Amino acid sequence: LGTIERCVKLYSNPGEVVLSPFMGIGSEGYVALKFGRRFIGMELKESYFGVGVKNLKAAVARNKLPDLFDWAEQQMEMETQP
């Protein structure tokens, strides 16, 4: 993943789209999402695609930042605690 990380950082900016026409298990997508890029990937082999989707969902869950509603819910929970 080190080489992919260097390439994503060098050749894209946060918010841009990284395209992988041969996605495999989604390594480029995982790194792209990790560094705040968006990702489009294509894969012909269904088994690789399934693993790639699982890896990308993990990356999204890992990087999920709280939105305004999450913050408000946390504030309400803190106020109701004794």
Confidence of residue 79 (pLDDT cuts 50, 70, 90): confident
Confidence (pLDDT) at 60:
86
Of the candidates 42, 32, 34, the one whose C-alpha atom is nearest the C-alpha of residue 11 is 32
Question: What are the distances in angstroms from CA 36 to CA 5, 47, 50, 65?
Answer: 12, 26, 22, 11
Q: What is the pLDDT of residues 11-65, one digit of tens each?
A: 999 999 999 999 999 999 999 999 989 999 999 999 999 999 999 998 888 877 5
